[in-house]
Amino acid sequence: MSTIIYHNPRCTKSRLTLGILEEKGVNFEIIKYLDTPPSFDELKALLTDLNLQPRALMRTFEVPYKDNHLDDESLSEDALIQAMIENPILIERPIVRTANGVAIGRPPENILTII
């Protein structure tokens, strides 16, 4: 498995995480997830590997979160995952997947445990 970073070039933490990968000499693929959101199954797998519920991976202060009433506790996990696919700005970033696991680069040093 190759290393993948779900990256937003406008995000400072994402750029710092990318820098760590480069500094450590890791070969990786960049997925600009705002342009190419993960599929439902990919996002579900990331959540499973991160051991997180969907809302824990959501940027709850973003406008689509409020506009779509995603704070509604009756929403299913599948509905929240679908909302992240339809509004990828809601996905916390960056996410790095390696053969050793998955980590969120907040702080960027979090990825050191999987590279």
pLDDT tens figures, 33-59: 999 999 999 999 999 999 999 999 999
- What's the confidence (pLDDT) of residue 61? 96
- CA atoms within 13 Å, Cβ hemisphere of 14: 18
Sheet bearing 101-104, strands edge to edge: 28-32, 3-7, 95-98, 101-104
| pLDDT of the residue at 22 | 97
Mean pLDDT computed over every residue of the chain: 97
The residue from 1, 4, 11, 82 that is catalytic is 11
Asked if 102 contacts 88 with a C-beta cutoff of 8 angstroms, the reply is no
Examine the residue annotation and report whether 73 is marked as an active-site residue of this protein.
no
Token pair listed for 40: 């439902």
Is the per-residue pLDDT at 105 higher than 90?
Answer: yes
CA distance 55 to 113: 24
